Structure 1
Amino acid sequence: MHLGVFTVLFSQKTIEDMLDHVAAHGLEAVELGTGGYPGSSHCPLDELLESEPDRKRLLHAIHSRGLRISALSCHGNPLHPQKAIAQEAHTLLENTMKLAELLEVPVVNTFSGCPGDSEQARYPNWPVAPWPHDFQELLDWQWNEKIYPYWTAIGQEAKSRHIKIGLELHGGFSVHTPGTLLRLRERAGDAIGANLDPSHLWWQGIDPVQAIRILGRESAIHHFHAKDTSMDKSNLSMHGVTDMQPYSKLLDRAWQFRTVGYGHDLKTWADIMSTLRLVGYDYVVSIEHEDGLMSIEEGFSKAVQNLKQILIREPLTEMWWV
């Protein structure tokens, strides 16, 4: 496995300064945002699509520092019921796949999106209970009319471009659990997989180790985010896991994102790394820093320090003790 970082936390730095900073910390990969929610400060999508010299300069800047691009990320909602919003996210995803092919980047990360409740809807509708039965009828309509058709077409295109799609299992979107990912993958094909982020699993009550085993058996983990979550028991009893308070209300929220090792101990993270190795994942562990209690630099540095202790890097050539 290789240690990397989702570079959007360094959006204030030039790409050269960012790459120098990342390389100085001993990392081996960068995940670049191309637009949507992450922005595109280090990867101007349109310019790179149009200019081969610009693409060569970008790759030289990265490779000359001993780094590589683990993924291009364009998180958005291509299933949004407002057509203009959906079209913008779709165009971004299409163009990101084109750029990934040109740069020979194997993975594009995004969200599945979430449709509304009808063709007349204005906002996404994320059902979270099977009853009343309206929710089941809504869910069936969303999957059959929106989710399956869209992602089946994207899966076919991704495969034709020799890339994989890593869907982040994020609450508020239709694909948010191992089960919903496998449901989609069965119809849309194996180009669709997970950008597995434990932080979004913990607050849903999902054990990331078990999620890795479930998805790893299907070779359905295409990329991995290293981000932690802490749970506040008293606030959890007040607000539940679907706490809708702003992330800035740190004292009141049921859960909040933390840097690696500050929500769960390093034994838990070591179990995660071991299980990734167990299921054959030997790609990049990409740090994502969204800790409301730490500065960018401190959160990033502590994540690097903690992960370096537990990342499994060397291949096992033989079981010499057997």
Structure 2
Amino acid sequence: MKLGVFSVLFAQKSLEETLDYIKSKGLDAIEIGTGGYPGNAHCDPDALLADESKLQAFKDAVESRGITISALSCHGNPLHPQKDIASADDAVIRKTIQLASKLGVTVVNTFSGCPGDHEGAKYPNWPIAPWPNDFQDILKWQWEEKIIPYWTEIGKLAAENNVKIGLELHGGFSVHSPATLLRLREAAGDAIGANLDPSHMWWQGIDPVQAIHILGRAGAIHHFHAKDTSIDPINVNHHGVTDMQSYSLMLDRAWQFRTVGYGHDLKTWADIISALRLVGYDYVVSIEHEDGLMSVDEGFTKAVQNLQQILIREPLGEMWWV
């Protein structure tokens, strides 16, 4: 396995400064934003696709430092009921797939998106209960008319470009759990898989180790984010796991994102890393920092220190004791 980072943390730095910084921390890989919510501070698909010299300079900057690009990431909502929002996010996904193909990057990370509840809707609608039955009707319409058709098309485009799509299982979007990911993968093809982030499993009440087993046995883990979550035992009984309070209200929230090791101990994280190896995932573990109690530098540095202790780096050898 390789240790990497989602470079959106360092949007205020140049690409070269970011690469030098993460190299100094002993990292092997970088995940780079190309638009959507992550922005494109380090990688503008329009500029790189239009100019071969800029594309080559970009490749040289990364390769000369011995760093791998684990994924290009363009998280957005290509299924948004407002057509201008959906079209913009869809365009970024398509350009990112094209750019990934040119760069030899095998994974494009994004969100599944979430449609509205009918053709004239203005905002996304995320049903989370089977009753009243209206929610089932909305969910059926979303999957049959929007989610499956769109991702079947994108899955084919990705496969044609030798790229895999890593959908981050995130609350508020249609694909947010192992079951919803596997449902879409069955319908849209094997190019569709997960960018699995355990932080979003924990707050939904899903054990990340079991999620790894469920998805890994299906060959459906394309990328992995390293981010932690802590759940407040008192506040969760007040607000529930679907707490809608701002992330900034950390004292009152039911749960909050933490850097690796500050929500769950390193034994839990070692179990996660071991489960990844067990199901055959030997790709990049990409650090994502969204810890409101730590600066970017401190949170990132502690995540690196903690993960370096437990990451399984060497390839499997023969079982000499068998």
TM-score scaled to structure 1, two decimals?
A: 0.99
Shift of 1:202: 0.3
Query: Which residue in 2 is equivalent to 1:52?
Result: 52
One-letter code aligned to 1:31:
E
C-alpha distance in structure 1 between counterparts of 2:316 and 2:151, whole Å: 37
The one-letter amino acid of 1:128's match is I
Letter in 2 for 1:119: E
Question: What residue in structure 1 maps to residue 10 of structure 2?
Answer: 10
C-alpha distance in 1, partners of 2:133/2:83?
27
- State the TM-score, normalized to the length of structure 2: 0.99
Shift of 1:22: 0.4
Amino acid of the structure 2 residue aligned with 1:220? A
Tell me the CA shift for residue 13 of structure 1.
0.6
Measured in 2, the distance between the counterparts of 1:287 and 1:303 equals 7
Q: Deviations over 1:45-103 (max 9, x none)?
A: 21101111111111111111110100000000000000000000000101111100111
Provide the residue aligned with 2:69 in structure 1: 69
Residue identity opposite 1:217 in structure 2: R
Does 1:19 pair with 2:8? no
- Percent of residue pairs bearing the same amino acid type: 72
CA distances 1:262-292 after superposition (whole Å, capped 9, x unpaired): 0000000000000000000010000000000
Corresponding residue for 1:32? 32
C-alpha RMSD over aligned residues: 0.5
Unaligned runs of 5+ in 1: none
Residue 306 of structure 2 aligns with which residue? 306
Alignment of 1:141-156 (within 5 A): 141-156=141-156
In structure 2, how many angstroms separate the alpha carbons of the residues matched to 1:312 and 1:78?
36
1:195 is paired with a residue whose SS is strand
Is 1:248 aligned to 2:248, yes or no?
Answer: yes
In structure 2, distance between residues paired with 1:170 and 1:316: 32
Q: CA–CA distance in 2 between the matches of 1:25 and 1:65? A: 13
**2:203 paired residue number:** 203
> 1:126-148: per-residue Cα shift (whole Å, max 9, x none)?
00000000000110000000001
User: How does 1:233-244 map onto structure 2 within 5 Å?
Assistant: 233-244=233-244
Q: Which runs of 5+ in 2 are unaligned?
A: none
Q: Equivalent residue of 2:39, what SS?
A: coil
Cα offset for 1:122?
Answer: 0.2
Instruction: State how far apart, in whole Å, the 1-side matches of 2:43 and 2:187 are.
Output: 32
- 2:111 match: 111
Counterpart of 1:174 in structure 2 is 174
Residue aligned with 1:132, SS: coil
Partner Cα separation in structure 1 for residue 219 and residue 53 of structure 2: 35
Q: In structure 1, how many angstroms separate the alpha carbons of the residues matched to 2:153 and 2:14?
A: 36
Which residue number corresponds to residue 89 of structure 1?
A: 89
Query: Structure 2 CA distance, aligned partners of 1:260 and 1:46?
Result: 34
Alpha-carbon separation, structure 2, partners of 1:230 and 1:26: 27
CA displacement at 1:187 relative to structure 2? 0.5
Q: Which residue of 2 aligns with 1:232?
A: 232
Could you say which residue in structure 1 is the equivalent of 2:162? 162
Q: What SS does the aligned partner of 2:193 have? A: strand
Question: Could you tell me how far apart the structure 1 residues matched to 2:240 and 2:49 are?
Answer: 44
Please report how far the alpha carbon of residue 231 of structure 1 lies from its aligned counterpart in structure 2 after TM superposition: 0.2
Give the Cα separation in 1 of the matches to 2:28 and 2:90: 30
Deviations 1:127-175 (A, max 9, x none): 0000000000110000000001000011111000100000000000000
Letter in 1 for 2:142: Q
Cα distance, 1:113 vs structure 2: 0.1
Alpha-carbon distance in structure 2 between the residues aligned to 1:316 and 1:162: 26
Q: In the TM superposition, what is the alpha-carbon distance from 1:3 to its structure 2 partner?
A: 0.2
* TM superposition outliers: structure 1 runs of 4+ over 3 Å: none
**1:78 aligned partner:** 78
Report the equivalent of 1:266.
266
Secondary structure class of the residue paired with 1:233: coil
In structure 2, the partner of 1:137 is 137
Q: Which residue of 1 aligns with 2:220?
A: 220
Q: Distance in 2 between matches of 1:265 and 1:41?
A: 33
Q: Tell me what 2:292 maps to.
A: 292
Counterparts of 1:195 and 1:307 in 2: how far apart (Å)? 18
Rounded Cα–Cα distance in structure 1 between residues aligned with 2:76 and 2:57: 27
**CA distance in 1: counterparts of 2:153 and 2:17, whole angstroms:** 38
